[in-house]
Chain A
Amino acid sequence: MIPAPFGYKRPGTLAEALALLREHGEDARLLSGGHSLLPLLKARLARPGVLIDIARIPGLSGITETAGGLRIGALTTHHEVEASPLVREACPLLAEAAGRIGDVQVRNRGTIGGSAAHADPASDYPAALLALEAALVASSPDGTRSIPAAGFFTGPYESALKPGEILTAVEVPSPPRGSGEAYLKAAQQASGFAVCGVAALVVPGPGGTIASARVGVTGVAAPAYRARKTEEALAGKPASPDALRRAAALAAEGVEPLDDFYASADFRRQLARVYAERALAEALRRAKG
């Protein structure tokens, strides 16, 4: 498993990295943790001319509190997200999703920015980022822009990043007060990627009702999506098991599920329904707890 020849650049600053990206254009790929890119290189499914290794650029890593939530540097590893007391306190859903990625080795190397930018339709983060209504911050020589998660994941391995842009941070707003959250996943037995991963965020309302709910679904279709019909069916409704089941039944409405040797489209629909129901129930339980 030997990659095709490639050049290697290691810029010291974000500005240098952006300049290199501009110089090499589509011939270049950014390297951070390498856990998506290196397997592709080794299988010779990707043959970039140049790798721009941004892994050691200062300032792109780490988790800080902001006025409205958290800012997570793109180079922050999955393990750092999973283990961060800040994340666990402020948005446990993201820590839970990070903890379900791959295995310990993957979580120690893989980064949140790399994972998001790679936009694998079976990766775990998108479900949580969608449910949390996070934003992804991209830098280019022209400046910085913030892209809502709902508009960031555009297709299988496709994101809203433009050529020449580097994803530098993820901004996660604090979830509504009193909400409960859960990320549940059916993992592909070989890869550990999500065949279906559901991130649910439930805000209880008065009198045993659900004020609002957000449901992010990954692995079922490309790209990951918000199960809006499920969310709508829950808003203002009693938080009964029946209501959850009826709403969860809509979790794959209007999407065209992926279909492969491991799981057919029908099965993915079924998993979306079951996992949505269970994730909602668990989120609700945690909200009450």
Chain B
Amino acid sequence: MASIPEAPKFIGVPIKRRDDPRLIQGRARYVDDFQLPGTLHMAFARSPYGHAAIRGVDLSKARAAPGVVAAYAGADLAGKIGPVPVAGLVPDARVPVQPVLAGGRALFAGEPVAAVVARTRYQARDAADLVEVDYQALDAVVDLEKALAPAAPRVHAQFEDNVAFRWAIAGGDIEAGLRAADVVIKQKIANPRVVPLALEPRGVLAHYLPGEDKMTIWSSTQVPHKLRTLLAQQIGMAENRIRVIAPEVGGGFGSKLNVYREEALAAYVTRELGRPVKWIESRGENFLATIHGRGQLGEAEMGLRRDGTITALRYNVLADCGAYYQLLTVAIFTLTGLMLPGPYKIPHIEMKVTGVFTHKMATDAYRGAGRPEATYILERMLDLAALELGMDPAEIRRKNFPAKAEFPYATSAGLTYDSGDYHAALDKALQKAGYPEMRRQQAEARRQGRCLGVGLSTYVEICGMGPSAALGGQGWESARVRVEPTGKVTVFSGASPHGQGQETSFAQIAADAFGIAVEDVEVIHGDTDVVPYGVGTFGSRGTVVGGSAVVFARDKVRDKMARFAAMRFEADAADIAFAGGKVFVRSAPEKSAPFARIAQMAYDAIQLPPGTEPGLEETHFFEPPNFTFPFGTHVVLVEVDPQTGEVKILRYVAVDDVGNMINPLLVRGQIHGGIAQGAGQALEEEVIYGGGGQPLNATLMHYALPKAHQLPRFELDHTTTPTSVNPLGAKGVGEAGTIGSTPAVVNAVLDALAPFGVHHLDMPLRPEKIWRAVSRARKGGPA
């Protein structure tokens, strides 16, 4: 008597990423690794000024340079390429038209003014230096507050001032909420511009085949289908004649969730010249002409009762848009509003955003995208409130959490958090950190004249983006699953992972349902000719939405396969099970066949009854009914050297609740990277502009990324509160680390500085800033 095979399960198992060997061995193929015969290379002459009138562009020397095939200035392209696409606008937003090459004025340093196309990359670069542009430097608008002064230079002459848009969100009655408060804490808080800095810069290779009237575009993008649809419109070519391939993509962090000028230009030029055209962004260009993140300067006002209960939160903020919008520039700021209540019961909220045009590159999505900004405001304000009220930072947070029984919880920003247990994550993190002992250690250190600080951040995120109603109609994701005739399984995903590891986790999802080995599942993504129309990877949606699509597509195929097996075994389809590489009848396990045998049968129509549709391939578009809401608590211990301003992170404890984990190893990796990136913003990162609008630190020699030796061993744990929004119960983890860590690190540093009476400093908390604050406090005596 045969027994029911043991069913190995892959979901929940920390399998190593299958893409790691090729990445580590240098065998991965990025855009620049694709070499087509006859490829032409494109290089740009970019504005060295934040703001300048362009009185003339002389391309004659560039055109005469060795190897040059073509050169373009803005005027050469007028009417030939549409403006850079924008989406996610708010009502009455002023929308400047972003040309592919600057016309009469350059509006940010790094704006492309002319393009040169040559036979080699070196020739293109040399020729770009020969482009002669007659610039007249003009006053630049850099500072957000000064940008709104009546006399400020206007970024766009057609608008009467530098206001880009105004948007507000309110819940409850803010004035009543503030009146009900015993204390009102006010603080001006900045969230400076940072650079996403994907390790692989952007790049595009466009190849038009005149004979077929078809174009293939390899692009380092997070959104291949979106790129195809929008580019088709921009260059006036039928969408179904364009194939976009996102090959290996070396990180995005939101910066490749966009359609950029260079992509449109490459697509235009290959069609005009009939030869492949490649542009690979240099690191210098990446600093200047790829979107920046964050960029908020606001004033927050929090009302509380004496016992620490929050009554109201108001946030008035200036939002740094840059000179032009990229795809989601405006939308990102509205996410801050949706996230404003965070994990707390705040009955009355109000956020008013004023979008500001500046002479800078656009801001757009950067890991967390609008949500870290909200968390940062909340977590800073709560620490200030705790100080004012003489409460422990952990207690004031606990006091304001909704209880587990209160979920689903409707926030004053209009969202419904489906599930949550914030107390559990806080308690677990405090226990893991040994919080009371940490405080004792801090007190002892203070007695010795050392400055230790403990920082907390409790957060919730809006992830799994998201319901289509909130994403301009495209919050779904697609997947197709095919069982091949040999029993191998291929998953085609509309998501476009670029480092997240879903080649592994999607294989885990598929393997479990078919009872086969994870190695027998292949995952294909990032090719618009191959995978179903997809939305892409951003907003912690890859697994949550894309993985859920795999679940549904997989189950459709399995159901069909079960029907075929039922025919063969003369059993009921509901009685068919898949495990151990076999398909069998659950109630009579001796009736079984290898998985591959049933797969083969499905493609051999002679073996199927007449009228049966052969094949094993199904597609599903999954529409999530809501966002997901991961949450957690991060606890950080730092030591600050008051004489040098240097900060050392001594311990980092994070308890995150991302729901069910498909692959805990990938989850840990995401949290590690996120914490590092968030800590980088807290301590080091900021784009610094000179008065003329030129970034002063636009190189890796000057712009500091966090490095491994600056970070301690992370002490991670989790709670598991699944979501009911999707069949996996997964909530997403791509952004958790960044959202939790920035405020936790800043709070820790300011906790260390509290004895000096220093209670708020804006990021980044670089050594000199800390030293100056301490020196000032010492001169003025204790505050």
Contact = CB atoms under 8 A, between A and B. Distances in A.
Interface of A: 1-2, 4-5, 39, 43-44, 186, 188-191, 261-264, 267, 270-271, 274-275
A267 B768 contact: yes
Nearest to A191: B701
Contacts of A190: 684, 697, 700-705
Nearest to B710: A189
Contacts of A186: 644, 646, 767
B159 interface: no
Contacts of B121: 2
A2 to B, nearest CB: 4
B697 A4 contact: no
B651 interface: no
Nearest to A103: B707
Q: Kindly name the residue among A44, A186, A188, A189 whose own CB sees the greatest number of chain B CB atoms within 10 A.
A: A189
A2 B125 contact: yes
B202 to A, nearest CB: 14
Contacts of A271: 644
Interface residues of B, number: 29
Nearest to B643: A274
A1 B704 contact: no
B648 interface: no
Contact of A1 (B284, B683, B696, B767): B284
Contact of B126 (A1, A5, A39, A274): A5
Given A39-B701, A190-B702, A262-B702, 5 more contacts: A1-B283, A2-B282, A5-B126, A261-B697, A267-B772
Contacts of B766: 189, 262
Contacts of A270: 643-644, 771
B129 interface: yes
Contacts of B284: 1, 43
Given A43-B699, A44-B129, A263-B768, A189 B122 contact: no
Nearest to B706: A189
Interface in B266-283: 282-283
A4 B699 contact: no
A261 B702 CA distance: 9
A98 to B, nearest CB: 17
A223 B72 CA distance: 46
Contacts of B389: none
Contact of B702 (A1, A191, A274): A191
A1 B643 contact: no
Contacts of B650: none
A191 B766 CA distance: 14
Contacts of A261: 688, 696-697, 702
Interface in B100-130: 121-122, 125-126, 129
A5 B122 CA distance: 8
Contacts of A2: 121-122, 125-126, 282
Contacts of B701: 39, 190-191
Contacts of A189: 683-684, 704, 766
A258 to B, nearest CB: 13
A267 B705 contact: no
Contacts of B646: 186
Nearest to B697: A261
Contacts of B643: 270, 274
Contacts of A191: 700-702
23 contacts: A1-B283, A2-B122, A2-B125, A4-B129, A39-B701, A43-B699, A44-B129, A189-B683, A189-B684, A189-B766, A190-B684, A190-B697, A190-B704, A191-B701, A261-B688, A261-B702, A262-B697, A262-B702, A262-B766, A262-B768, A267-B771, A270-B644, A275-B644
A191 B684 CA distance: 12
Interface string B679-705: 000011000100000001101111111
Interface in B171-212: none
A39 B771 CA distance: 32
A267 B771 CA distance: 8
Contact of A274 (B125, B644, B768): B644
B678 to A, nearest CB: 16
A100 to B, nearest CB: 12
Contacts of A188: 704
Nearest to B703: A190
Nearest to B284: A1
Nearest to A4: B126
Nearest to A195: B767
Contacts of B704: 188-190
A264 B283 CA distance: 27
A275 B703 CA distance: 24
A196 B283 CA distance: 27
A264 B688 CA distance: 15
B181 to A, nearest CB: 40
Contacts of B683: 189
A267 B121 CA distance: 43
A188 to B, nearest CB: 8
A5 B121 CA distance: 12
Contacts of B282: 1-2
A190 B772 CA distance: 21
A147 to B, nearest CB: 29
The list of the 6 closest CB pairs from A to B, nearest first, reads A189-B704, A190-B704, A2-B125, A267-B768, A191-B701, A1-B282
B644 to A, nearest CB: 6
Nearest to A2: B125
A2 B768 CA distance: 34
B661 to A, nearest CB: 34
Interface string B569-602: 0000000000000000000000000000000000
A186 B772 CA distance: 16
A39 B122 CA distance: 16
Contacts of B705: 190
Interface string B278-300: 00001110000000000000000
A188 B767 CA distance: 10
Interface in B755-783: 766-768, 771-772
Nearest to B690: A261
Contacts of A1: 282-284
Contacts of A267: 645, 767-768, 771-772
A263 B697 CA distance: 13
Contacts of A43: 284, 699
A272 to B, nearest CB: 11
Interface in B68-108: none
A241 to B, nearest CB: 13
Nearest to A263: B768
B287 to A, nearest CB: 11
A83 to B, nearest CB: 19
Nearest to A39: B701
Contacts of B122: 2, 5
Contacts of B703: 190
A268 B121 CA distance: 42
Most buried by A among B282, B696, B704: B704
Residue of B684, B696, B768 with highest tally of chain A CB at under 10 A:
B768
B68 to A, nearest CB: 15
Interface string B211-228: 000000000000000000
A264 B704 CA distance: 17
A125 B700 CA distance: 22
A2 B125 CA distance: 7
Nearest to A1: B282
A262 B768 CA distance: 8
Contacts of B283: 1
Contacts of B126: 2, 4-5
